[in-house]
A and B are shown apart, each in its own frame.
Chain A
Amino acid sequence: MRDRKSGILNQQSRWRLFAATAVGLVVVVTGGACSGAGGGGGGSNSKTITLAAVDNPQMADLKNLVGDFQSAHSDITVNIVTLPEDQLRQQVTQDVAASSGRYDLFTIGTYEVPLWAKKGWIENLSPYIAKDSSYDPGDLIPGVSKALSYNSNLYAVPFYGESSMLMYRKDMLAAKGITMPDHPTWDQVAAAAKAVNSSSVSGICLRGLPGWGEQLAPLDTVVNTFGGRWFDEKWNAQLTTPEFKSAVSFYINLIKSAGEPGAGNAGFTECLNAYNNSKVAMWYDATVAASNFTGAAAANSGYAYAPTKTKDWSGWLWAWALGMPSSSKKKDAAWTFADWATSKAYIKLVGQKLGWAHVPPGTRTSTYSIPEYQQAAGAFAQVTVQSIANADITHPTVQSVPYIGIQYVDIDEFQQLGDQVSQEFAKVIAGGQTVDQALAKAQALAQAVGKKYQT
């Protein structure tokens, strides 16, 4: 029983308490001093820039090579912060909208660039490019360049580009006597998927994970090639038109009849795993997927262009590019880094130091003429660059549309709209409602958005 009368800690416990508090305080003060309160670089002439980047293998490589940049430019320190895509987009949007200056450079996509350039949120990079004679902006793949421009000026420089393609297991298809043409139609793909589908191997992996950049990316390309569109020229929502409905029904039915289990939560990573584990025979997704293949999947894969129906060249277009806020106070330092990271020299550096398979795809035409890259990137390099070259964000659909964007509609509201609509489709995949019910809800949501653009 404790001696409550005295109520005093004995010497030992008292010292323990003091010691613990002292240690705690030391950690706090040191920690505070070390981590610092915001920014602050080294010497008086050095600048610290913070790059907010999406996490993908190419960005991981960039992080590894930052040392090379800093030895060449000792007055600039680069902090790279990586976040998952949706977190990144939210943080950067907030940062730029509120001019809070947390980031001096960020990776943004073809979705944000035109919108933000119009609002004056990001810096026009054309003058900076003009000052660098070795940059060669003409070498940038034209479709990508156009997607990152506004009023013919480049507002972000491309770091990574992709389109979509069909990947398939030649061996599994051959076992059923099927060969896949280079430019297949969706009907051919569906037939092949159903033929190959069994209890141990699914016919095809298609994204079902809700999200405007997840499920809707491939789905929108299907909509486009089936002749559908999100809005007509007068911004009336078109989600209940026969073409749109037939595309969505086709996609969801293909998933249900020959798709992977857990499709409702399958994004890029899940399908990649399924394909690598030989659990699916085909996969329609980003062109960069093939660089992650291992084992049997890597040895036996064939590549075809994105399947079509009534419109040719249905592949999507996406690029991650480096941009800077127009309110930035460190534009020159930021540009120095962006220049370095998207230059031909960087591509060579990656190839030599990390291996040619690590080179960021889909940005420069010259990359595809490098012999070592052609060898390492193999069969899908041509499909990649051709798909990107033929992806036109200004004419994504059969009928004309008032918006740009292939796998998205380039308006501010699309993030929320796309997320909501894809959730409704996910519910259909899970068996919770019919396609018609989902489309009715989606139409209402889209109509509310379209109204804002009708003059």
Chain B
Amino acid sequence: MRASAASVFGREAWRRRLPLLPAFIYIFLVTQIPFVLTVYYSFFSWNLLKPGSFQFAGLQNYADLLTNESIRTAVWNTVLLTLSVIAISVVLGLAVAMLLNSEVFGKGLMRTLMIAPFLIMPTAGALIWKDTLLNPLFGLLPYLLSPFGLGRVDFVNQFPMVAVVTVEVWRWTPFMMLIILAGLQSQNPEILEAATVDGANAIQSFRRITLPLVRPFIELGALLGSLFVVQTFDTIFMLTYGGPGEDTTNIPFLLYLVAFQGFNIGQASAIGVVAVIMTTIVATFALRTLFSIFQIEARR
């Protein structure tokens, strides 16, 4: 149904707007008031540990960001982490979804077990990975790898970003898998059969028929997943604490350190504002060019 051509202030327009208002007003109040305060604080130097330090500082916090190396590292880590996790979990999710969509034994149970990583508390999951699976002394993985001479490898310390990406992929692959599986299951099997009869091999069917059908689901999964993965915090906090050095510090984690280790609220607010601006730019670009699902018109 196309949007009515009636004027913005007509009765019809307001009737359409009404259902949206409760959610809109609610979200607006609860998110924008803190955000406005955040912007406000960003123009002040304020350290929670120093009573009476709340002083106007103009653009000083923002100027400091320009010379701050940590910001650049954090941005880079955020991009690297998000792209890696989304890309790998989409590919893995697609593979598992295709497996679950074909003829296999125990499909239901497989699907059930596959969801589990997504349901476990992120904090608990990360701790289990760090202390009981990856730890060189009493972790299971080094123990299993010791016949191959890799028994003393400290994964979390020597390959920190790999470790974080691994845990995040473990968490998010089920999410991607579910969404893509839904798409595969809406596929009409007759089309695939017809293609096979016509002589198409597995790869051709996949590329020409399956992939285009699944693409919107991949996009939806990637979009929703990115919204969360870009804010990855729990895993980093428990697994590497942003380190060693700053190797796994992303923007949310850097913000946490500045706001709650240093209690430097002014600077933290400035970082937050810059993060919002940058994410808005990237998101606008991505949504308008990459994602076909952002169309308003319902497709019938």
Residues of A that sit less than 8 Å from B by CB: 90, 93-94, 97-98, 115, 119, 210-211, 260-265, 270, 273-274, 277, 279, 412-413, 415-416, 419, 423-424, 426-427, 429-433
Contact = CB atoms under 8 A, between A and B. Distances in A.
Nearest to B260: A90
Interface of B: 47-51, 130-131, 135-138, 152, 154, 156-158, 241-247, 257-258, 260-264
26 contacts: A90-B261, A93-B48, A97-B48, A211-B241, A261-B136, A262-B135, A262-B136, A264-B154, A264-B156, A264-B157, A264-B244, A265-B135, A265-B154, A274-B137, A277-B137, A415-B261, A415-B262, A416-B257, A419-B257, A423-B242, A426-B157, A426-B243, A426-B244, A426-B245, A427-B244, A430-B157
A423 B135 contact: no
B138 A273 contact: yes
Nearest to A266: B137
Given A270-B137, A423-B246, 13 more contacts: A97-B263, A210-B241, A261-B152, A262-B154, A265-B130, A270-B131, A412-B47, A419-B261, A423-B242, A423-B243, A426-B157, A427-B243, A431-B158
Nearest to A116: B49
A279 B137 contact: yes
A433 B247 CA distance: 12
A412 B53 CA distance: 13
B154 A261 contact: yes
A429 B245 contact: no
A105 B53 CA distance: 26
A424 B246 CA distance: 8
A419 B246 CA distance: 11
Nearest to A91: B260
A350 to B, nearest CB: 29
B244 A430 contact: yes
A84 to B, nearest CB: 10
B135 A432 contact: no
Contact of A423 (B131, B156, B245): B245
A269 to B, nearest CB: 8
Contact of B137 (A211, A260, A415, A427): A260
Given A97-B49, A260-B137, A262-B136, A416 B245 contact: no
Contacts of B49: 93, 97, 115, 412
Contacts of B138: 273, 277
Nearest to A423: B243
Contacts of B135: 262, 265, 270
B156 A265 contact: yes
A413 B50 CA distance: 10
B154 A430 contact: yes
A427 B51 contact: no
Q: Which 7 A-B pairs have the closest CB atoms?
A: A264-B157, A262-B136, A416-B262, A427-B245, A261-B136, A427-B244, A426-B244
Contacts of A427: 243-245, 247
Contacts of B245: 423-424, 426-427, 432-433
A93 B247 CA distance: 28
Nearest to A418: B261
Nearest to B262: A416
